[in-house]
Chain A
């Protein structure tokens, strides 16, 4: 039971992950192209999985009505909209509003098709969702945002750098990252007691770095810098 619960949560995480990756592709290309790649790569993946597990054409698929095939073209618009919106209003708000739209249109569809259901639960549920949308729609003027990938500045986008960027909360070029570590190592050299010096210097370095670069939050890079300095016990030569 716990395993299946975890799998269900993982499925939700993967939905969000897919939207973020598509959104990143849309930043470099277009939302529609991102949707195209999402579909063709997914098609290839499902084809391989179906060849391994078998049973792709089991049942009576030819008996399904013609309109059931419209799910694909609708999905293209849906994926394109998601990858366009995620850079505009953020992952959380995109997810939230899509959920709200899905739930409310589901209720409308249920009523239109005459599906039985608890009227009170529907009224309360839809009311809460509408209230949530109203609250979310009022813009927060003091929201702290920073720009993401910028085409004019080539970022180092290897998986490790992405992880580092996530921790440092700022897209960082390879050159700046090496500068970062080198300066940290130089500062360490000046400290008297080496290992306590590493901790203290990492701390002060993170503070000054975040101040210089106007990072929205401070100190998240501290463990990373401390680790980097500990790994470079012999400080990098300043060239």
Chain B
């Protein structure tokens, strides 16, 4: 009896050591790619922030031009980010300088604003623009994850991911085309 218990314990510890060994090899300590629940909640909350952003920037677009509605948030955002950086002074992750192209994310974001403002006034309307944009975003994200583009961690999507993705997309399409409102 005692012997079997002992075996069981050693078996467990051995299994555990294999697990930690693998984890060490798969991911370095400073970059844990294992998703946690609070990451999910944070991403969901960020989506809520996006709704507020669309509401506020849309209000600006009612009074001013489309250029104004994207220029002002960038201006106030730059000031706010600078203030936060000066107050918090977060420590940089690496001492080596990042390549110059990593600073160009803002250009891509600004072109997005122009493209959407061009397509909103066509037969696509707001709902069509949003729906096609979601499709493009999801497909490119999946591709980037599979390939590990731009030096980000590579992740092969699982079957669960595809199921969850299609459920969320279907729900979104229903809300966009039949839900009314924004």
Q: Which A residues form the contact surface with B (CB < 8 A)?
A: 1, 4-5, 7-30, 32-47, 49-50, 53, 55-61, 63-65, 67-79, 81-82, 84-107, 109-110, 115-118, 121-122, 124-129, 131-133, 135-140, 142-151, 154-155, 157-159, 162, 165-167, 169-171, 216-217
Residue pair A147, B153 in contact (C-beta under 8 Å):
yes
Within 61-114 of B, Cβ neighbours of A (below 8 Å) are at 62-65, 67-68, 70-82, 84-85, 88, 90-99, 101-114
**How many interface contacts (CB-CB < 8 Å) are there between A and B?**
522
Sampled A-B contacts (5; CB under 8 Å): A14-B112, A87-B33, A95-B141, A101-B45, A127-B171
Query: In the complex, what residue of chain A is closest to B165 when comparing beta carbons?
Result: A96
Count of B interface residues, CB-CB < 8 Å:
130
Say what secondary structure dominates the interface of chain B.
Answer: helix
The 8 Å CB contact of B102, one of A15, A28, A151, is: A28
Q: Closest approach, in angstroms, between the C-beta of B169 and any C-beta of chain A? A: 8
Residue pair B179, A88 in contact (C-beta under 8 Å):
no
The 8 Å CB contact of A30, one of B59, B90, B139, is: B90
In the complex, A143 Cα to B141 Cα: how many Å?
16
Residue pair B160, A9 in contact (C-beta under 8 Å):
no
The 8 Å CB contact of A67, one of B56, B92, B114, B116, is: B56
Q: Which residues of B contact A140 (CB under 8 A)?
A: 158, 160-161
Q: Which residues of B contact A217 (CB under 8 A)?
A: 156
In the complex, A162 Cα to B67 Cα: how many Å?
33
Query: In the complex, what residue of chain A is closest to B131 when comparing beta carbons?
Result: A8
Query: In the complex, what residue of chain B is closest to A117 when comparing beta carbons?
Result: B180
Residue pair B141, A16 in contact (C-beta under 8 Å):
yes
Q: Which residues of A contact B167 (CB under 8 A)?
A: 128-129, 131-132, 135
Q: Which B residues form the contact surface with A (CB < 8 A)?
A: 26-28, 30-37, 39-40, 42-57, 59-60, 62-65, 67-68, 70-82, 84-85, 88, 90-99, 101-116, 118-119, 122-124, 128-129, 132-142, 144-145, 147-158, 160-161, 163-172, 174-175, 178-182
Known: A76-B77, A135-B164. A40 touches B106 (CB 8 A): yes
Residue pair A68, B59 in contact (C-beta under 8 Å):
yes
Residue pair A91, B145 in contact (C-beta under 8 Å):
yes
Q: Which residues of B contact A19 (CB under 8 A)?
A: 105
The 8 Å CB contact of A8, one of B63, B124, B170, is: B124
Q: Closest approach, in angstroms, between the C-beta of B19 and any C-beta of chain A? A: 11
Q: Closest approach, in angstroms, between the C-beta of B10 and any C-beta of chain A? A: 23
Listed from nearest, the 6 A-B pairs whose CB atoms lie closest are A101-B47, A12-B136, A72-B76, A117-B180, A132-B167, A128-B171
Q: Which residues of A contact B157 (CB under 8 A)?
A: 92
Q: Closest approach, in angstroms, between the C-beta of B61 and any C-beta of chain A? A: 9
In the complex, A27 Cα to B144 Cα: how many Å?
16
Q: Which residues of A contact B52 (CB under 8 A)?
A: 70-71, 74, 105
The 8 Å CB contact of A75, one of B77, B88, B154, is: B77
The 8 Å CB contact of B171, one of A132, A150, A166, is: A132
Q: Which residues of B contact A95 (CB under 8 A)?
A: 137-138, 141
Residue pair A69, B43 in contact (C-beta under 8 Å):
no
Known: A8-B115, A64-B64. A162 touches B124 (CB 8 A): no
Known: A32-B90, A145-B26. A12 touches B137 (CB 8 A): yes
